Every structure is written in structure tokens, then in C-alpha cells.
Amino acid sequence: MTTNLNETFAAVQVASRELALLNDDIINQILNAVADAAIAETPFILAENEKDLARMDKNDPKYDRLKLTEERLKGIAADTRNVATLPSPLGKVLKESVRPNGMRLTKVSVPFGVIGIIYEARPNVSFDVFSLCLKSGNACILKGGSDADCSNRAIISVIHEVLRKFNINPHIVELLPADREATAALLNAVGYVDLIIPRGSSSLIHFVRENAKIPVIETGAGICHTYFDEFGDVNKGAAIIHNAKTRRVSVCNALDCAIIHEKRLTDLPMLCEKLKDSHVIIYADAQAYQALEGSYPTELLEHAKAESFGTEFLDYKMAVKTVKSFEDALGHIQENSSKHSECIVTENKERAALFTKIVDAACVYTNVSTAFTDGAQFGLGAEIGISTQKLHARGPMGLEEITSYKWVIEGDGQTRRN
């Protein structure tokens, strides 16, 4: 297994060097052809996706992530075409200077080379990663989960067919076997792979961080809070909480915990009113429970436990925490956040500015749903993930975030004397 995969890794590395010779026009033609193929091969892709769906419980929160539809494939094709319209992130002069000795220095954006992506039941990632990596000059090695293996293999076969028509080395994108041995091999592919990006649960990201011998950019795990301040607008708050919680519960920017200032507890029933329609289970602390009792359905209202806080639910579930002060809200977020997306609902501009300054997260919102933490919503095209760390990239990772740079030095025979 490992020997075979080393051969695959070597082939991808060779393909990455060939990729450097492609101009942006050819890359854009390939991306548009892949978008066309995604539409043309919709019946085939959906049939393979059905095989994966048949093995998963429909009540599993991952089911929605796994499911592809004709409409979703149209959206994926549109995102792929959108990436083709974006300016190339490569060859940008980031900095230049001429030293006193006449030596010219230029700092230029370049691809990473080979990027390994480890992800779970999200077949759309196969398209997203390919399009972003191709546009940014990176070859990619995909390691999907067994839950989505039929879907992923169908998608990569469609992409490979397009690459062959353009006489492009198909090894610029490879899908590894869905077993754990392949994950271990990828995490240890020193000398072949330049960067690993895990997309998925906190347990997956923790595993990759603990076991990779290659640089890792952490993405995905989102324990997101919305703090309804004592100066919050109840209509804005109700709309934001409902949207952030119920738009898509299985995504990393979904709301997990609403924090409310104790002075506004009488508004809590209205803030949670729309959640009833989606049958959201609320885990409320003692004060919040008392405020909701009688107005929120009994079967959907439970007493919070310690583990209710700091949990990424990925389901129609939400915790509610009552705080005595703005400082308490900041403390709760600091203690429980995964540093993904955090929001304050307030009409007090000074407090909003303080929240933005103090809260340590990739994306910090004032009076806006955390559902907007998304590369497309930020105008980046499709995204390769949401980075929750601070090294190299933070927040939605688009084209610029999956490039590095190198220094180009030009001279006329200069030599160093000291």
C-alpha cells in the first residue's frame, strides 16, 4: 500500500511541475470544461452519490453534507466558472527594491506545489479543491472519507476525462483510497507533499495535527456564538439567530450557542420564536430555561449541562448562556470558542468596536449572521476551507491563501565582501 502510494505521490509531484507551464487562458478553459462536464454527467454523479446516501442514516447530520442534487451540481458548476473569472494569484509582485549595490530583489507569488486535502462526507469539496488548486497552480491529492467514496470517485473520473481531452497530466489531481492507511501515508509524505489541509470534524483536525509530519493549516471546526447584548435590537437578533442556526445546521459556520445579557431575558422568547418551526432543541442554563418555559415547546427545551457549551452540534440543537455583563460574554467566548466565527448583536457602537477588537476569531461579526463565513460570500470564489489558525492564512481560504512566495534576485556579477 505505502509503496504504491509513494509512486502516486511522486507522479503528482512531477505533474505539479508540468502545471507551472500552463498559462491562465488554458487553466480557465479547463475550469469551464469541468463545469460543463459536471452538468453533462449529472445523472452519473447523482447515481454514484445515491450509493453513498443509501449507506447513511438520513437522520445523521452528515447526510445533508453528503447529498448531491441537480441544483447543487448547478451551483458547483457556477462556482467553478466563477473561479475561472478570477484573476490569477500567481506571478504577482508583492514587493520590489534595488539594493545600494545594484542588486534587484522581487518578492513574487508562487504555488505551494502539492497540497493534500483530507475531508469527510463532503463530495462538493472534490470540485472546489480541484478548481482552486488548478487556478493557483497547485497539484492536489485528495483523501475523502469512506462515506462519500463513490461520489468522490465519480467526480474525479469526470475531471480526469476533461484533463485528458486537454492533454493535461491527470496526476495534477489524485484521489487516494478511502482507508486509514492512505491517511497515514499522506500525513507522512515528506518530500512529496508541501501542505496538508484537513476539512471536517474537530476530531479529524486534531488527528491530523497530532500525526502529520508535513505543515498543516487547520480548518473547519466551528463552535460559533452570537451574543445578544443589552443594547441589542430584538428583531435583528431574532433574524440573525434563526438564520445562523437553521440555514444549514451541518456547516461549520452554524450557530452553536446564543449568549444573552440578563437584562434582556424577557426578549429571549422572541429571539427563539422562529426556531420552533425547525424543531431546534435548546439547552438552556437556569435563567434562560425559566425565561423560555411556557413559551418554547416543552419537548424542545432542556436544561443545559456543562458539555452543552463548547460543543459543535452540527444539528438542530443550540445552547443558551445567560451572562451578567459584556465582560462575562467575552469570557465565555474565550473559554469555548474554536476561533472560527463570533457575532455580537448591539446598537452600541463602542461596544461593537470593543467586541471586534477583543474577540479572537477568524471572523468577527456585528449585527450579521455567522452564515456569511464563506469564500464565495467574501468574494473569493469557491473556498478550500476556513482557517481557524493564525499562521499563514486565517478565515475563508481562496486563491491567494493557497499561494506562497519566493524572492527573485537579479544582478550583474555582484559578490558579497562581508
Q: pLDDT digit string (tens) for 299-309? A: 999 999 999 99
Place of cell 506571478: 91
Do residue 211 and residue 259 come from a single domain?
Answer: no
Number of domains in the chain: 2
Q: What is the mean pLDDT of residues 40-64?
A: 93
- The DSSP code sequence of 267-290 is GHHHHHGGGGGGT-EEEE-HHHHH
Distance CA 297, CA 269 (A): 11
Q: What is the mean pLDDT of residues 280-288?
A: 98
Whether pLDDT at 1 is above 60: no
Regarding predicted confidence, which is higher, 381 or 197?
A: 197
* Strand partners for 343: 226, 365
Alpha helices, DSSP H, located in 343-417: 349-358
CA atoms within 13 A on the CB side of 108: 11
Do residue 63 and residue 142 come from a single domain?
Answer: yes
381: in domain? no
Buried-exposed string 285-310: b where 16+ CB fall within 10 A, e elsewhere: bebbbebbeeebeeebbeebeeebbe
Q: What is the mean pLDDT of residues 129-141?
A: 96
Describe the strand order of the beta sheet including 224-228 as a list of residue ranges.
Answer: 301-303, 281-284, 317-323, 255-261, 224-228, 341-345, 363-366
- The 10s digit of each residue's pLDDT in 148-175 is 999 999 999 999 999 999 999 999 999 9
Do residue 295 and residue 186 come from a single domain?
Answer: no
178: in domain? yes
* Strand partners for 322: 260
Task: Report the pLDDT value the prediction gives residue 220, as an integer from 0 to 100.
Answer: 67
Question: E strands within 84-183?
Answer: 93-98, 104-111, 114-119, 139-143, 173-175
Q: What is the mean pLDDT of residues 77-96?
A: 94
Regarding predicted confidence, which is higher, 62 or 140?
A: 140
Contact at 8 Å (CB) between 244 and 256? no
Q: Identify the domain containing residue 139 by its residue range.
A: 3-216+400-407
Do residue 126 and residue 110 come from a single domain?
Answer: yes
Q: What is the mean pLDDT of residues 10-21?
A: 94
Task: Report the pLDDT value the prediction gives residue 121, as an integer from 0 to 100.
Answer: 84
412: in domain? no
Do residue 244 and residue 186 come from a single domain?
Answer: no
Whether pLDDT at 223 is above 60: yes
Task: Report the pLDDT value the prediction gives residue 390, as an integer from 0 to 100.
Answer: 86
Confidence of residue 310 (pLDDT cuts 50, 70, 90): very high
Q: What is the mean pLDDT of residues 181-188?
A: 95
Amino acid identity of residue 68, one-letter, is L
Specify the pairing of strand 195-199 against strand 114-119. Answer: parallel
Q: What is the mean pLDDT of residues 281-286?
A: 98
99-103, 118-122, 194-198: least confidently modelled range: 118-122
Do residue 125 and residue 52 come from a single domain?
Answer: yes
Do residue 117 and residue 54 come from a single domain?
Answer: yes
Q: What is the mean pLDDT of residues 324-342?
A: 96
272: in domain? yes
State the CATH number of the domain containing residue 262: 3.40.309.10
Helix and strand tally (H, E) in the chain?
Answer: 14, 16
Whether pLDDT at 57 is above 60: yes
Do residue 116 and residue 12 come from a single domain?
Answer: yes
Do residue 82 and residue 202 come from a single domain?
Answer: yes
391: in domain? no
Q: What is the mean pLDDT of the chain?
A: 94
414: in domain? no
Question: E strands within 178-270?
Answer: 195-199, 224-228, 255-261
Confidence of residue 2 (pLDDT cuts 50, 70, 90): very low
13: in domain? yes
Do residue 232 and residue 330 come from a single domain?
Answer: yes
Do residue 314 and residue 234 come from a single domain?
Answer: yes
Q: What is the mean pLDDT of residues 93-118?
A: 97
418: in domain? no
Task: Report the pLDDT value the prediction gives residue 218, as an integer from 0 to 100.
Answer: 83
Distance CA 386, CA 389 (A): 9
Buried-exposed string 188-219: b where 16+ CB fall within 10 A, e elsewhere: bbeebbbbbbbbbbbebbebbeeebebebbbb
State the CATH number of the domain containing residue 71: 3.40.605.10
Do residue 82 and residue 203 come from a single domain?
Answer: yes
What's the CA dihedral at 245, 247, 250, 254 to 10 degrees? -40
Task: Report the pLDDT value the prediction gives residue 384, as an integer from 0 to 100.
Answer: 85
